[in-house]
Amino acid sequence: MLRTTASPIFSSFTAKPTTSRLIFKAFNVLLEDTPPSARRNASTNLTTLHQGPPTSAYVHLPFCRKRCHYCDFPILALGSSASSTLYQEGQGDDPRITNYVNLLVREINATRTGFDTNPELKTVFFGGGTPSLVPPKLVSLVLETLSSRFGLCPDAEISMEMDPGTFGGEKLKELMELGVNRVSLGVQAFQDELLKACGRAHGVSEVYEAIEIVKACGVGNWSMDLISSLPHQTLEMWEESLRLAIESQPSHVSVYDLQVEQGTKFGNV
């Protein structure tokens, strides 16, 4: 898939050696003392490591509008019906999302850490997929279940990966009211031709719109993802993307170098 060449997107999950992390991914639950790589995160054969009670949770929400040409993550492409308007305004609930979240809640409730006492969770990361496609009421259900089962610190960092074109101001405010206080924005590039070439579902205009929404809603902690080494990406394009990313003033920028994986559209070329 992608490998990090700068600070990893999961940097917020760096844990002390004596702590562990819970990962909820529909039938795959584990505790780990260090963040898994992108490849391990997508794996269905993961190892459970018990080195201390968990203080962090990763929740996988695998829904996307379409599969990008470089993506080999476990996702479900919802298709064109997953428009930004539908999920911004909550005008309809996709049963595929609802059923998955209900299963996820069952998994959380069934999870046992193996420790007599457990500290409250300090961090929660919603990754995917495109978690911003999930209706806020279902995100609320997951957070309520985590809080009931493991407890959440009052100042817990709750992060969500969000793609341009999948949320508006109203939806983001709803998520913030639920406790989401960090946004990871999947920009990837500031050139329409590059976004189209790698199969992204958004364009540059939606990138700028998403940045404005994040700022207008007062998200103080947000990061931006960029991909280098894309097909047809020139040095000038890369420099422009870096410049525009800096000008956007995110709290953090994650840079990923394209890695072509077998079974992806890029890998089959």
What domains sit in the chain, N to C, each tagged with a CATH number?
A: 2-258 (3.80.30)
Strands 29-32, 20-24: pairing is antiparallel
Using a 10 angstrom Cβ sphere, with 0-12 exposed, 13-18 middle and 19 or more buried, the burial of residue 177 is: exposed
Distance between CA atoms of 178 and 210, rounded to whole angstroms? 20
Q: Which of 15, 51, 48 is nearest to 29 (CA)?
A: 48
CB within 8 Å of 106: residues ≥ 6 apart = none
Q: Which of 58, 12, 5 is nearest to 225 (CA)?
A: 5
The CA-to-CA distance between both ends of the chain, in Å, stands at 15
Q: What per-residue confidence (pLDDT) applies to 100?
A: 95
Per-residue pLDDT of the chain (269 residues), as tens digits, is 433 333 322 222 333 334 466 776 653 333 333 334 333 343 333 334 557 888 999 999 999 999 999 998 899 999 865 544 444 444 568 999 999 999 999 999 999 888 888 899 999 999 999 999 999 999 999 999 999 999 999 999 999 999 999 999 999 999 999 999 999 999 999 999 999 999 999 999 999 999 999 999 999 999 999 999 999 999 999 999 999 999 999 999 999 999 998 888 888 87
Using a 10 angstrom Cβ sphere, with 0-12 exposed, 13-18 middle and 19 or more buried, the burial of residue 221 is: middle
Three-class secondary structure of residue 124 per DSSP: strand
Segment (H or E) for 84: helix 84-89
Angle between helices 136-149 and 169-178 (to 10 degrees): 10
Using a 10 angstrom Cβ sphere, with 0-12 exposed, 13-18 middle and 19 or more buried, the burial of residue 25 is: buried
Q: What per-residue confidence (pLDDT) applies to 53?
A: 86
Report the amino acid identity of residue 53. Answer: P
Measured CA distances, 136 to 39, 148, 213 (Å): 28, 18, 17
Predicted TM-score of the model (pTM): 0.81
Q: What per-residue confidence (pLDDT) applies to 80?
A: 60
Residue carrying the six token digits 């279940």? 145
pLDDT digits 0-9 by tens, 195-214: 999 999 999 999 999 999 99
Distance between CA atoms of 194 and 237, rounded to whole angstroms? 9
